[in-house]
Structure 1
Amino acid sequence: MSIVIRPCRTFEELDACVALQSQVWGFEDADVIPRRALVVARKIGGQVIGAFDQATLIGFAMALPGVVPGNPPGCYLHSHMLAVDPRYRNQGIGRQLKLAQREDALARHLQQMEWTFDPLEIKNSFLNIEKLGAIVRRYTPDHYGVSSSRLQAGLPTDRLHAEWWMRSSRVNAILSGGARPIYNIEQTILIPAEIAQWKTAEATFAQAADAQLDCRSRFQAAFARGLAVVGFKTDSRGNGIFELASWQPSWKESQ
């Protein structure tokens, strides 16, 4: 299978991005990013990058420009949305889209990209931390408010904030398959393998909610102590395990 990764160019391709949001997340209209916003994102320095199987859009990533306060202020990209057609999952397309975002950003001399992700989604956490090299130092409870996403299943939209320092030694080592940095892991936070099933069953929904609250309190306490997520793994039962170490400013420095 030959998948082409390139910027979305036409209104029809942007309409396909809108349709894919509903397919992947089951969004109601109020939660869908409309074509108009995608057009604006492209024109103000953001990104709308698609994955295509021949002429069919099967995935996309959308980013917006952000400003870091300072004198002078800095710029970064906030990757707000990434979706892949369920029929094309587990083929590395999400990673390809992220790498295309990075390539475009570096060509424009940007150093940093950020995005949010649900800590209860184990596969997504593995991609962000282990496959891309993002680090995490922030946790926001109910970041987006009520969501119609079927993946959220009615739970608060708690989110971790990924920081992707795209030229850093850490990211370059992970993307190149080289020797990874060694960290002094001071804490781990476990995500139960059953969490996806607990969320979608009435009998176990309260169990999922309790697991989320426990996760929230552990992350907030860890970040308050100056720890950062630097690793992620799964155990023999499929539980997700975040690994945290004391934050070092050198981790974001360019090679």
Structure 2
Amino acid sequence: MPAEPPQIIIQELTTYSELMDVQRLENLIWNEPPIPLHQTFTSIQNGGLILGAYINETLVGFSYGFAGFKNGKSYLCSHILGIHPEHQEKGIGARLKEVQRQKSLELGYSMMTWTYDPLESRNGYFNLSKLHAICRTYVENCYGDMMDALNSGLPSDRFKVEWWFNSPFIKEKQQIDVRNEKSPFQIEIIEKGLPKLMDVTSTLERILKNRTIEQILVPVPINFQQLKKEDFELALDWRLKSREILQTLFDNGYVAVAVKKKNKENVVNDYVLVKEDLIQEPRVF
């Protein structure tokens, strides 16, 4: 008989010893200096939250969030989530997020926020379509020049998502009907079968002239890291053109609520953007 999958235990981390284990895991995952202990320890004493995922009493994943406050609203800012390379693709990240949500509610928060690269459509699907977060804030070059393998050479643009725990819209938005079968933005397949965005500015002008459009599909590469490896200039082109699209649409009252996955033979997925008046929660950012 096949062996039982290992049990994953999620628990809150509060001691120096546990936080030192987090530092060691950070080094293993990213090969960069970890967050200082004095910072993480102070954070958890003042509204922050660090969770650890254990398999056979070994730390294999963690999430770190600290207290945030802006425009009269308090929230948990989920800063880092990391999984040991040997234990990815096991649902540990989703488990950590769910416990993070439960613990955040116990701490008195009604919203959590974090950032991710909008060109990473896999992350977008997890954050928006699976967790039912939303995004209406695009942060240009959020972390400045980053030198790690995933970000080196490109502006570190980020989506700043909002995860409203009790929002009726967010609880029910998995029922959204993706009426648009095709994105208005044109894709051309170039060398090596890679996708390139075309006519972005003129397409945006046509969209904004028609104020009745309630839903827009915005393409994003299925595998941005592979595209970047094969054609760096094309990756930069995607960064700048998608920035123009998403910033413009957010500024004109649209909000990203899901990622529509395509078939495997396609080279792009689509963000689903709807009118912001469907969102019942106030703007914080």
Task: Give the TM interval when normalised to the shorter protein.
Answer: 0.7 to 0.9
Which residue matches 1:3? 8
Which residue matches 1:24? 29
Matches within 5 A, 1:83-162: 83-162=82-161
Which residue matches 1:12? 17
Q: Does 1:197 align with 2:226?
A: yes
Amino acid in the other structure paired with 2:249: A
Structure 2 Cα separation of the partners of residues 223 and 43 of structure 1 = 36
Q: Does 1:180 align with 2:175?
A: yes
Q: Secondary structure at the match of 1:248?
A: helix
Identity of aligned residues (%): 30
Deviation, 1:250, is 4.3
Task: List runs of 5+ in structure 2 lacking aligned partners.
Answer: 1-5, 180-213
Q: Does 1:41 align with 2:70?
A: no
Which residue matches 1:228? 255
What CA RMSD, in Å, does the superposition of the two structures yield over aligned residues? 2.0
Matches within 5 A, 1:47-66: 47-66=49-68
Deviation, 1:75, is 1.1
Change (3 A) 1:250 1:220: closer
Deviates more, 1:157-166 or 1:106-115: 106-115
Change (3 A) 1:182 1:109: farther
Deviation, 1:173, is 4.2
Q: Does 1:210 align with 2:237?
A: yes
Q: Is the 8 A contact 1:228 1:245 kept in 2?
A: yes
Structure 2 Cα separation of the partners of residues 150 and 23 of structure 1 = 14
Q: Deviations over 1:103-160 (max 9, x none)?
A: 0111122111111111122221111001110000010111011223222132111000
Q: Is the 8 A contact 1:8 1:14 kept in 2?
A: yes
Q: Is the 8 A contact 1:23 1:85 kept in 2?
A: yes
Deviation, 1:241, is 1.4
Q: Deviations over 1:160-200 (max 9, x none)?
A: 010010111244347xxxx6245775211211224211323
Q: Secondary structure at the match of 1:6?
A: strand
Change (3 A) 1:149 1:249: same
State the TM-score, normalized to the length of structure 1: 0.87
Amino acid in the other structure paired with 1:206: E
Q: Is the 8 A contact 1:66 1:77 kept in 2?
A: yes
Q: Deviations over 1:209-250 (max 9, x none)?
A: 111111111101110110000111221125231110000264
Q: Secondary structure at the match of 2:142?
A: coil
- How many residues in Structure 1 have an aligned counterpart in Structure 2? 241
Task: List runs of 5+ in structure 1 lacking aligned partners.
Answer: none
